[in-house]
Amino acid sequence: NATPLNARTRGRGRGRGAASGPPSAAALGRGTRGRGRGGPPPPGSLAPRGGRGGRGMPPVGAMVGRGGPRGRGRGFVGAGPGRGRGRGAGPVGGDFCPPPGSALARGPGEMQPARFQAGFFVNSRKAKLFIQKWVFPEAEARGLVFLLHEYGGHGPNNDDDNDYYKPLLHLLLTERFNVYSLDFEGHGRSEGERGAMPTFDQIVKDVSFHVHKELEPFVNRAARGHRARPAFVYGEGLGGAVATKLALAEPETFAGLVMVAPRLQPTGDEPSVFARTLGRVWGGTGEYRWVDAAFSQEAAREHARNDDLALQDGTLRLKTANAIVGAEKELAKSASSVAVPVLVLHGSEDTLVPVEHSREFVDAVATDDATLLEYEGAWH
């Protein structure tokens, strides 16, 4: 249901994408440097180039078409769908093999499939947190991607064939990136009071522990002279805020951030405003009001209503609202210190997290490699 649109990239890489749907390779464009106009990307390319390029880090798993070779560029967005919000699971169970005919399907025995593993770890609050990973043999993985979900959401669900993360998982695994996921405390399959955040810093601490635990074997291999593997963080909404805090605290750990509608500044002047706003969206009336605010497509709404792992209703607690707003205020002040490459995807009709917040963030960051892709008509 998506059609290609001209992508206009200016400054640090603002572009426009297509209609709503899950993120795709078409969305994962990066910025280049200088002035000029480019036509459509070459055959087989799926994404625009644009923005203030810097290192020009390629998007995880995406093939990339170039816009202008220098300065302000005009590229072309591929026909893949833009951003909508859906929930539900992954295409992968135990093993994942590249599809027949792909560049990675080299023949029997030449490449090992990704192995799926799931389990728990106990955080400092003695809560068991659910983790998943899809991993290739260490020598074959191109890099690592850590998925961080939105408030009220959860990581991929392998028991749901229509899971929201299915296209993204397929893309990353086809390109042989290890993928890791963690359900925040109080979310999904993790322990904790449903929807209640302990503190924002506790969530960041849990994710940092998870990241470094998974990075350890790759760090050890690099110390023995093997090629280092880049690590990326993909965060949605609150997950984008966590990703940004991690990048600020330890920029040397990550090769880049990819974020969808990240919560990077408050939606109101006071926590009470935020609490009242989300209290209406997450009201305990059984009407699933947050679904109507987040999804533009009825099929996605219906799927979300039947997602037992997601937070369906209930009034947002003021303590949780305070934790989120406090984090957003801190991140709004710290944006100019973000030094890692950044790609942000945002729907133009998002009423939960205004697209203006992402525009301001991309304009403020310190990195020369920052890109915002706006999707016309897309919601949260």
Per-residue pLDDT of the chain (380 residues; tens, 9 = 90+): 333 233 334 344 545 444 334 444 333 333 333 322 333 333 333 333 333 333 333 333 332 232 322 222 222 222 233 333 222 333 333 444 444 334 333 333 456 789 999 999 999 999 999 999 999 998 899 999 999 998 888 889 888 887 888 999 999 999 999 999 999 999 989 998 888 888 999 999 999 999 999 999 998 888 888 878 999 999 999 999 999 999 999 999 999 999 999 998 877 544 455 555 555 454 433 333 555 555 556 666 666 667 777 776 555 677 777 888 888 889 989 999 999 999 999 998 887 888 999 999 999 999 999 999 999 888 77
Tokens in use for 22? 């899950």
Residue 48: per-residue pLDDT: 36
Q: How far apart are CA 118 and CA 180, in angstroms?
A: 10
Amino acid letter for position 158: N
Beta strand spans in 38-159 (E): 73-76, 95-96, 114-122, 128-135, 143-148
Provide the residue range defining the domain that includes 182.
113-277+319-340
155 secondary structure, DSSP code: S
Q: Model pTM greater than 0.75?
A: no
Length of the chain: 380
294 in any annotated domain: no
**Is the separation of the CB atoms in 309 and 154 below 8 Å?**
yes
Q: What angle do CA 87, 90, 93 make, to 5 degrees?
A: 150
220 in any annotated domain: yes
CA 210 vs CA 43, 181, 342: distances in Å: 39, 9, 21
Residue 13: per-residue pLDDT: 52
**Is the separation of the CB atoms in 148 and 228 below 8 Å?**
no
Looking at the structure of the chain, the number of domains it has is 1
161 in any annotated domain: yes
- Which of 299, 304, 342, 359 shows the shortest CA–CA distance to 20? 299
81 in any annotated domain: no
366 in any annotated domain: no
Q: The domain that contains 260 carries what CATH number?
A: 3.40.50.1820
Residue 277: per-residue pLDDT: 53
Residue 351: per-residue pLDDT: 79
284 in any annotated domain: no
48 in any annotated domain: no
Tokens in use for 197? 């955040």
329 in any annotated domain: yes
**Burial of 163: CB neighbours in 10 Å, binned 0-12, 13-18, 19+:** buried
**Is the separation of the CB atoms in 26 and 38 below 8 Å?**
no
